């Protein structure tokens, strides 16, 4: 029975061309993902999406230096895509959480072997809000040791204004509380320190 089912699927997919074949393969992957014991992990289902449907975020503090960009290009040319771009759903496509530079390579070289498609891993749970997307992007960057102080302070400031407490920022971004306070200070928002306790200054009598 399994061989018959697989042959039917294979013959059907082989009868399609171009975009229709890619869409069919994505649908098959989604069906398998739905019944997979690993369906709670996004990497269980990597889809091929047109790079034109991906939207860059405006908050990523990760900046790639020219040597790293050249190495990334060489890596993709030599080994192909080995890591999917992490995205979340948006009304007009998909927001990039992690992998902006990988998707940029595909955008610049549409005639490449991916034909303008990029592999994506779709985040599902709790990623409908901007602050959740921001937190996920920072987690990906920090896990690789790639983040820049000034943009990070801007992100911490925005998360604070969106209602996140120091404790939540610390937990979600993998920071200790002192680091959160330092980044808030760098952001130049003295009013948010009104709830902090400070030691008494020296006085002259």
Q: What does the pLDDT read at residue 198?
A: 47
Q: Where are the domains of the chain?
A: 36-147, 148-193
Give the percent of the chain with pLDDT over 90. Answer: 27
pLDDT at 143 over 70: no
Q: How high is the mean pLDDT of the chain?
A: 79
- pLDDT mean over 168-188: 75
Maximum average pLDDT range among 113-117, 126-130, 184-188: 113-117
The model's pLDDT over 56-85, given as tens digits with 9 standing for 90+, comes to 887 766 677 777 788 888 888 888 888 899
Q: List own/partner pairs for 79-84 with CB under 8 A and 24 or more apart.
A: 80/113, 81/114, 81/118, 81/119, 84/43, 84/46, 84/119, 84/120, 84/121
Q: What is the DSSP letter of 166?
A: H
Is the backbone of residue 36 left (phi > 0), alpha (psi -120 to 50) or beta?
beta
pLDDT at 14 over 90: yes
Do residues 135 and 96 touch, judged by C-beta distance below 8 A?
no
- pLDDT mean over 137-159: 69
Q: What does the pLDDT read at residue 192?
A: 47
- pLDDT mean over 20-32: 95
Topology of domain 36-147, CATH: 3.90.1530
Q: How confident is residue 124, by pLDDT bands cut at 50, 70 and 90?
A: confident
How far is C-alpha 91 from the chain's CA centre? 17
Distance CA 49, CA 13 (A): 17
């Amino acid at each position: 029975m399994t061989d018959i089912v697989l042959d039917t699927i294979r013959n059907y997919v082989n009868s399609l061309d171009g975009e229709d074949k890619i869409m069919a393969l994505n649908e098959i992957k989604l069906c398998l993902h739905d019944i997979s014991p690993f369906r709670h992990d996004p990497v269980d289902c990597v889809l091929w999406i047109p790079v034109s449907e991906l939207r860059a975020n405006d908050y990523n503090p990760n900046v790639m230096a020219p040597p790293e960009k050249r190495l990334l290009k060489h890596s993709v040319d030599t080994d192909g895509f080995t890591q999917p771009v992490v995205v979340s759903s948006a009304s007009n496509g998909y927001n990039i959480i992690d992998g902006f530079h990988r998707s940029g390579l595909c955008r610049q070289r549409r005639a490449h072997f991916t034909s303008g498609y990029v592999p994506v891993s779709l985040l599902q749970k709790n990623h409908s809000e901007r602050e959740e997307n921001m937190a996920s992007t920072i987690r990906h960057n920090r896990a690789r040791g790639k983040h820049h102080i000034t943009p990070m302070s801007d992100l911490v400031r925005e998360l604070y204004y969106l209602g996140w407490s120091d404790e939540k920022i610390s937990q979600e971004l993998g920071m200790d509380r002192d680091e959160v306070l330092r980044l808030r200070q760098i952001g130049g928002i003295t009013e948010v320190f009104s709830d902090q306790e400070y030691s008494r200054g020296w006085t002259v009598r």
